[in-house]
Structure formats: C-alpha cells, structure tokens
C-alpha cells in the first residue's frame, strides 16, 4: 500500500475511542495515558528542532465560474508553523479552516488545479514534488481521514505489509491495534469501519516514519484503541519523530499534544503549549482560541455571533474581526504573527 497505489487509492502513496481536569470543568478520558503525554514534553527529554517548517504557505485553486470565466480561490493563506522532532503538534479548528489542505500540501497530493505558494521545508531542505515522491510513504506518511484511501482490490495484510512485504511487522501491527489475524485475508469492504481505520494506522506506523501527518486518526475507534494509538504516537515522538495531529477533538488534543495550533479561515491564529489550553482561556492569547474554550460542553456551549467566513468572502485584515467583541479600526489592516508568552498569535491586542 505504501509504494504502489491503485486508482482506488487515488494515486496517493499513503502508508498509511478517571482523567485529568479539562478547561471546561469536565473530565477527559485519558486516565490510561502516561504523564508524559500530558506535560507538554516528551518523557525522553526536551523537544527537538523543526523537522517540518511552513512559512507564509498559501493554497489556491483555479476554478471556472459562469462558462469560461476563470478565477482563483485562496483556501489557505499566510500560514506559518513548524513541527518539531520529539513532539506532537495538534492542529485544531472548525471544518473548512484548512487543516486537511495543509496535509495535502505537505504530502504533495492536492488536486491538479491547486497551486501551493510559500515555503515548505523538511529537515532543512525545500520540499519539491520530486522529494515529496521520494519521502512519501517512507519518511513522511499520511493517516488519511477517509478509509476510501484503502485499495479495494488488495487484501488487508498485504496493504499493511507494503511493497517490502514486512510480514513480521504486519502481524505485530495487527496485534497492537486489535486486528484479528484472519483479517489478513480480507478485502477492505469486508472490514468494519473501525477495523479499516485501525488498518490505516497500522500501515502508517509500520515503517517507523520521521513525520506522521494524522488526519482525524482516532475517528471511529473505541476509547481504549484511541488511547493505544496516542501512546504509540508518543513513543514514535520520543524516538525523534514529529507528529502532526489534525483533529476536531479538543479533548484529544489536550491529552496527546505538546503544542496546539489553532486554525481559522485558512490560517493559523495561535500556536501555544498544550498546557496553556489545559489551564483555561485566561492562559490563551487569541479571542478565537478563548471562544473555543467557552464553547466546550462544560461551559454550556457558550456561542459567539457569526460564522467562519468562506474563502471567497474574507474580510480585510483580521479574519476573526467580524466576530470579535474587541474589534478596533486597526484590525482592518495587515496582521502579522508575533511571539507572545511562549507562543505565537495573530492579534494586535492579545496580551
């Protein structure tokens, strides 16, 4: 599955459910996790330098509207972040914020009408289409959000073992993720949704990659298997890998991540240590990050007015300004990210 993809995999080299206090006053389901998964630092020591760096990254799409009229839609704009060796960086935000587009840009698997601008570095080198093909499925792997990425014509065991035929590794991965040995001979349509999801994860981690881009990896898993997946991610990070964990689940991000990047309308508005999110909104910087904490169930789903703007109707300046109670005239101008209290924020008035 890693080195050879049929049309059913869309041509992508994928190799790919007691606890601590939460900022909403509730309780997470991370009682089975080690303390090292919750203290913002890998148990093996300090987090390392950047393995992946995105600087001023933009993703545009060429579209035709009303006949032959062509336009460009910018879905991701001025996005900057880095994923460090030895850490789990969680990426959170609402649907349409650009999280999965970032994954596609890193792997080089966006559709043909996409144009990526800005800078993407892997291990200090520019990621080109050629190097993306070289690293994809070996050093850089994707755990996709959809099980449709599985090859419908290839048996499960062969997909997990990969082109190298790592039968021992495949059986160890099956055992780790609770897959019945008999599933080796099954095709994806014969697997339950949870089994197919576990198969994707097993196929990704079998190669011991350096960068794992995990797009909603625990969706459809029961609590214990979700925890086992996070424990394994932590072990891979402790060994020097970088994990980019894309999720809608704030509890998952709080439990697993060292740092959290908050996406809004196609850009990053805040990057902060996960410990700041666990402390509550007073420790955060951007108004949208604080609003996310207020909207958690334990805080009575406290809403804010408005909705995330679509990419073809973005306001000038701060993209959150139309929904922000602290909006001022200067918010309509250019907003650059800045360092603040051990994190980064795109807000002129954050303190």
Task: State pLDDT tens for residues 101-130.
Answer: 999 999 999 999 999 999 999 999 999 999
Can you tell me the distance from the alpha carbon of 294 to that of 65, in angstroms, rounded to the nearest whole number? 39
Tokens 């559709």 appear where? 111
Strands of the sheet with 125-126, listed across from one edge: 69-84, 50-65, 114-122, 125-126
Q: Kindly give the pairing relationship between strand 259-264 and strand 125-126.
A: unpaired
Taking the chain (351 residues) in runs of 10, the rounded mean pLDDT of each run is: 32 31 45 43 56 97 85 94 96 93 96 96 95 93 90 92 80 89 93 88 88 91 84 90 92 91 97 95 96 85 90 93 94 95 97 93
| pTM score of the predicted model | 0.84
Is residue 213 within 8 A of residue 140, CB to CB? The reply is yes
pLDDT at 168: 87
The end-to-end CA distance of the chain, in Å, is: 48
Domains in the chain (CATH in brackets) are 7-58+75-280 (3.40.50.300)
Across-strand partners of 280? none
Q: Are strands 259-264 and 242-246 parallel, antiparallel or unpaired?
A: unpaired
**Cα(130)–Cα(138) distance, rounded to whole angstroms?**
14
Task: Give 242-270 pLDDT, tens digit per residue.
Answer: 999 999 888 888 889 999 999 999 999 99
């Amino acid at each position: 599955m890693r080195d050879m993809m049929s049309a059913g995999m869309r041509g992508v080299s994928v190799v790919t459910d007691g606890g601590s206090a939460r900022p909403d006053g509730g309780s997470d389901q991370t009682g089975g996790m080690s303390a090292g998964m919750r203290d913002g630092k890998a148990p093996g020591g300090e987090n390392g330098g950047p393995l992946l760096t995105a600087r001023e990254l933009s993703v545009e799409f060429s579209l035709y509207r009303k006949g032959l009229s062509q336009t460009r839609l910018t879905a991701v704009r001025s996005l900057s972040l880095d994923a460090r060796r030895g850490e789990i960086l969680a990426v959170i935000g609402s649907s349409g914020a650009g999280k999965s587009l970032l994954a596609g840009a890193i792997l080089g698997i966006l559709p043909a009408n996409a144009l990526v601008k800005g800078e993407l570095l892997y291990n200090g080198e520019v990621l080109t289409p050629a190097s993306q093909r070289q690293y994809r499925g070996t050093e850089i792997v994707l755990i996709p959000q959809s099980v449709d990425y599985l090859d419908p014509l290839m048996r499960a065991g062969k997909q997990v073992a990969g082109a190298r035929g790592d039968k021992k590794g495949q059986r160890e991965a099956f055992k780790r993720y609770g897959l019945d040995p008999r599933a080796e001979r099954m095709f994806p349509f014969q697997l339950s949704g949870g089994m197919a999801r576990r198969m994707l994860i097993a196929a990704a981690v079998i190669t011991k990659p350096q960068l794992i881009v995990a797009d909603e990896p625990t969706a459809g898993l029961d609590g214990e298997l979700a925890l086992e997946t996070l424990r394994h991610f932590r072990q891979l990070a402790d060994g020097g890998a970088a994990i980019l964990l894309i999720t809608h689940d704030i509890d998952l991000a709080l439990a697993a991540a060292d740092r959290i990047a908050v996406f809004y309308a196609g850009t990053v508005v805040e990057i902060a240590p996960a410990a700041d999110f666990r402390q509550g909104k007073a420790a955060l910087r951007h108004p949208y990050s604080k609003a996310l904490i207020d909207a958690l169930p334990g805080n009575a789903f406290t809403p804010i007015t408005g909705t995330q703007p679509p990419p073809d109707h973005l306001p000038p300046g701060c993209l959150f300004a139309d929904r922000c109670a602290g909006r001022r005239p200067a918010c309509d101008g250019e907003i650059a990210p800045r360092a603040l209290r051990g994190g980064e924020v795109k807000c002129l008035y954050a303190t």
